[in-house]
Structures are given as C-alpha cells and as structure tokens.
Amino acid sequence: MKMRKIILLAIMSICLDAKTIHILGTADLQGVLEPSIQKTDIDGDGVKESVKIGGISHLATLYKTFKKSHPNTVVVSAGDDLMNRYFHIFKGKAILGLMSDAGYDMFVFGNHEFDKGSDVLADALKGTKFTSICSDLDVSNSALKGQCKPYEIKNIDGVNVGFFSLMTEGLLSVTSENRVKFIANNVTTAKKMVKLLKEKGVNVIVLISHIGYKDDIALAKQVKGIDLIFGGHSHAYVKKIGHIGKTAIVNGGEQGSQVIQVDIPLDENLNVLSKNITMTKLLVDSKYEADELVEKRLQTYNKSLPKTIVLGQTKKDWIMDSKLNRRGESTVANMINDMLREKYEVDIVLNNAGTFRGKKIYEKGDITNTMLKAIDEFSNYAFILTMKGIYIKQLLERSASSYGHGGFMHPSGLKYTIVLPKQLQKIEEEKIVQKGERVEDIKILQDGKWVELDLTKEYSILTNSFVAQKGGDGFFWFKKYGTDFQNTYATFYSIMSEEINEKKELTPKEKDGRVRVIH
C-alpha cells in the first residue's frame, strides 16, 4: 500500500512538472491574404468539399485564440510569403506588416523573399514585431545587415527553446540577388547551429527550414540533435508527422489554408519526449472570424490595389493564339524557354504548348500581372531532371504526333523537324505500340554549336510540373526515365515577373527555326 502511494505521488509530480511547447505556423503563404474557395477534406472521410478557407485576418484570430489557451506557443513562418499582387504594389510592407499584426513570432526567409532584392526585403522588415532568422546567410554586404539574427533563444515557461533557419541552396540560381551569400551548405550550418545552441544550454532545438520536405528528411539523417524541423518550400501538407531518429519533421503547406500545430512534450528534467511529439492540422475556416484590426488594415491595402498591375513593357506583341502555338514555333514560348534555360543553366528546355495559355494576342506595351497569370494559368512549377538522348527522341515523336494539340513541344537549346506525312507514334499504357517516324534532324546546342543529339548521352532538362510529375499529354518518359529530379518550386509566373522586375522589359525575338514543320 505504501509503495502504491509512493508511485502515485511520483506520477503526480511528473504531471505537475512536465511542460509542453507548442509550435504553430505556416509556410509558403505566397501573399495570399484573403480567404479563397478551395476543395478540402473537412471530416477526414476522403470526400472533398468546397469551403472558404485561409486569410490573414482569420489566421490572426486562430493564433490569438490558441495563444490564450496555450501560453507556451511560438508562431512561425517558414518563408515564401512575399509573392503576388500585394508584393508587386506594396513591396512586402503589406504582407509582412499584416503577418506581424496577426501574431507571427518567428520569420525565416524563403527564396521568393528575394524576388525584388534584399533592399526591398530589408525595407519591408522595418517596423515588424517578429524575429527574423537567417542562420546560413551572409547579409553583411546588403541592406539586411542587422535585420536578421543567426539564431534565437526564447525562454518559455522556464524552457529554453533555440531556433535556427536554413535556406534552399538553390537561392542564388532562382533569384537575381547578388549581395547575399551562403556562409556554408545546409548540413554544415545545421551541425554548427546544433552545437552552438546546445553549448548555450537550450532544452529544445527547432529548425525552421526552407529547403523542402525531402531535403528536410535527408538533413535529419545527417544531423543529430534537432528536435523539430518545421519546413517550407515543398508546398505540402504531410499526412502525418515524420520521424527520423529523435527528430520530428512537418511541413507548413501553402497559402495559409491550414495551420500546423506541433506539441513538444518535456519530462520533469526538461528533456524532450521525442516519441510523443504530435502534429495537428488546423483548418482555417469560418469558425475563426476575422480579427477586426487586421481585417481593417487589410481592407485599407485592398482599396489601394489597382485591378491590374503594370510590371514592365514589351516592344512587340505577345501572340498567345492557341491554334498557332500548337502548330509551329512560338516567339513567346521561345522567349520564356530561353529565359528558363539561361536562368537554370540546363542543356534543354521542353515545354508543351498547353503550358502557355492566354489564348489571345497581347499588343505591345504594358506587361501586367493579369497577363502573366493568364499565360501561366495552371501555376506550373519549373522541374529539372536528367534524361538520355534516346528518350528525348521518343518524347519528341510524341510531340510530333500531338501536332495541333497541347502536347506539341516547344524547345530551347534543341531544334528539330517534324514531317507530318510520315508515321505517327502511338502509345498505350506508357508503352510505344507504334514507332513514330515524323521527327528528323534533332540538334542540341553545345558550347555555342549545333550538334547531333547523342542517344547515349544524358542531358539536363527543364520542363513543367504537369508533364514531369503527372506525365501530362502522354509524356510518361519524364517520370519513367528521368533521374536527378529537382522541383524548383518556382512558377513560370514568378520567374517571368522577377525577370521583368529586374530588366523592366520582356520582348519576344523573331522566330529562329527551332521547330520546322513539313506538311
């Protein structure tokens, strides 16, 4: 009886002394500040319903409500919040200002934060109440100097929680930023920060990451001592919390439609109970009414938004007529593909005609945000992969058999001839059932010279997520034979708008014969 009493008292003591730290937040808000109608599985039964979700003023209510009942809470953003129309007009001040008002405590940079350069980002950070962290970035030669910290330690109810950040190593290849440099690679930085934070006596180590979920997993396998990785860049809501050793991994999704809640329990000695870390997804729906102050400020910005925003100029018409672009060379497709090839330094760019929307002729003059949105209607991500020449030849035959349809391929760094009277390719269930004979004279641009396609050589290729991920328009070759896949998580819209922001102009050149069609 006496032993039972001792055990009961010990359990009560543990319950009284044990504490839980709550990490709440989002990733890849993308400048989406108003609620939107989206299809989502509300009840978890697999049936998706159309509901109004998200919105910065509704996020504010969620955060304030949660913090009231859970005081040991830190609200974080894993970056890529500065995008779209509020960013174009207000240069980050609206988005970051409203995030600050909504209750974010920690903010780390994503690659899109640099789309208008570090000067704009630094100016947008002025007056914000959250802490900005940039652990792996050297900002000493930029306006960000003094605007972000290498790490942050917060004492929460007697628990020292250390935060650090990681940026995707592709930052400098996907933005025009040249005054910010990497201090070290992701793994080296993570090991350094874990060691430093442990030396400073922290009880919990949280990495707010903008490197992507797969890279978060790879990092956790190489770096021990991180209790939680709260990730961004993948635009994914993971179904369940990931665990690599004692490291828990989540991702903040996109556009603020759901908030990720992570509960980190500790024992009476303030040791993290890693196996008991849990994740909950909080749907930002109508039960969270708009916060009045945040909503009022949002509407003030909203009233100042023009219906369409002029981003730059073009000296020639952009011809986006679907019939023309699916039957031959397109000056706009050439321009966009050449821009992508130069930016990402790949051998070849291949994008199906269905990628380029708009369906009209945009006359020379203003380039607007609505124009770019119409052209990149499906918000395609740029995908990079490696593939052998033999499969490139086969998928070009698929292009030739898709003449007049959305599968017609527009290239950069490659040119080819289609002879329509010849035999077309037929495929069934990712198999070629009739060999195509329409494609001739495939040449690749190598070191400034046009050379024959080498069927045995591997080439780096950039294409769009529709064909790379889904095998859209029958292009199964990318998924089946492609290797070294890399999702840039940059949409064609964002890449074009950044190019225009830098150069103030984007004008198509004359046709150069890269796609020749013989009837």
pLDDT the model gives residue 43:
59
Q: Which DSSP symbol is given to 476?
A: T
| 114 occurs within a structural domain | yes
4 is a domain residue: no
In a domain, residue 109? The reply is yes
**Is there a domain that residue 356 lies in?**
yes
Say if CB 85 and CB 31 are below 8 A apart: yes
Indicate if 299 and 317 belong to the same structural domain.
Answer: no
Last residue of a domain, one of 285, 303, 321: 303
Tokens 């396998």 appear where? 221
Structure tokens given for 43: 């009840």
Reduce the DSSP state of residue 90 to 3 states and report it. helix
Nearest-angstrom CA–CA distance, 252 and 231: 6
3-class DSSP state for residue 174?
Answer: helix
The CA distance from 151 to 193, in Å, is 8
Residues 441 and 512 reside in one and the same domain? yes
> Is residue 368 domain-shared with residue 234, that is, in the same domain?
no
**If DSSP states are collapsed to H, E and C, what string results for 97-125?**
HHHHHHCCCEEECCHHHHCCCHHHHHHHH
Alpha helix ranges (H) inside 168-209 = 171-174, 186-199
- Let me know whether 366 and 279 are in one domain: no
Asked if 24 and 261 count as a contact pair (C-beta separation under 8 A), the reply is: yes
CB count within 10 Å of CB 400 equals 26
Q: With CA atoms as reference, report the closest residue to 293 among 64, 8, 50.
A: 64
Shared domain check, 373 and 272: no
pLDDT at 42: 60
Q: Looking at residue 355, what DSSP letter applies?
A: G
8 occurs within a structural domain: no
Distance CA 311, CA 361 (A): 18
Same domain, 333 and 237: no
Q: Are 426 and 432 in contact (CB under 8 A)?
A: yes
Q: Write down which residue in 303, 319, 344 finishes a domain.
A: 303
The reported pLDDT for the residue numbered 177 is: 85
Quick one: which of 259, 234, 125 has its CA closest to 134? 125
**Is 344 in the same domain as 409?**
yes
Q: State the Cα–Cα distance between residues 73 and 262, nearest whole angstrom.
A: 10
| Residue 10 belongs to a domain | no
The number of distinct structural domains making up the chain is: 2
Q: Do 257 and 405 belong together in one domain?
A: no
Of 244, 277, 303, the residue that ends a domain is 303
pLDDT for the residue numbered 12: 38
Q: What angle do CA 512, 318, 87 make, to 5 degrees?
A: 120
Q: What is the CATH number of the domain that holds 327?
A: 3.90.780.10
Burial of 6 from C-beta contacts in 10 A (0-12 / 13-18 / 19+): exposed
Give the C-alpha separation, 471 to 467, whole Å. Answer: 4
80 and 187 housed in the same domain: yes
Q: Looking at the structure, tell me whether residues 101 and 159 fall in a common domain.
A: yes
Residue 2, in any domain of the structure: no
φ, ψ at 197 (rounded to 5°) = -65, -35
In terms of residue numbers, what domain contains 355? 310-518
Residues 252, 159 share a domain: yes
Check whether residue 134 and residue 192 sit in a common domain: yes
The answer as to whether 430 is a domain residue is yes
3-state secondary structure 392-458: HHHHHHHHHHCCCCCCCEEEECEEEEEECCCCCCEEECCEEEECCCCEEEEEEEECCEEEECCCCCE
Phi/psi at 339 (nearest 5 deg)? Answer: -60, -45
**Distance of alpha carbon 507 from alpha carbon 331, whole angstroms:** 9
Reading the chain (519 residues) residue by residue, the pLDDT tens digits are 444 444 433 443 344 458 999 999 999 999 999 998 877 766 566 677 788 899 999 999 999 999 999 999 999 999 999 998 999 999 999 999 999 999 999 999 999 999 999 999 999 999 999 999 999 999 999 999 999 999 999 999 999 999 999 999 988 877 778 899 999 999 999 999 999 999 999 999 999 999 999 999 999 999 999 999 999 999 889 999 999 999 999 999 999 999 999 999 999 999 999 999 999 999 999 899 999 999 999 999 999 999 899 999 999 999 999 889 999 999 999 999 999 999 999 999 999 999 999 989 999 999 999 999 999 998 889 999 999 999 999 999 999 999 999 999 999 999 999 999 999 999 998 899 999 999 999 999 999 999 999 999 999 999 999 999 999 999 999 999 999 999 988 899 999 998 998 899 999 999 999 999 999
pTM of the predicted structure, to 2 decimals: 0.84
Cα separation, 230 vs 252, whole angstroms = 7
CATH code, domain with 239: 3.60.21.10
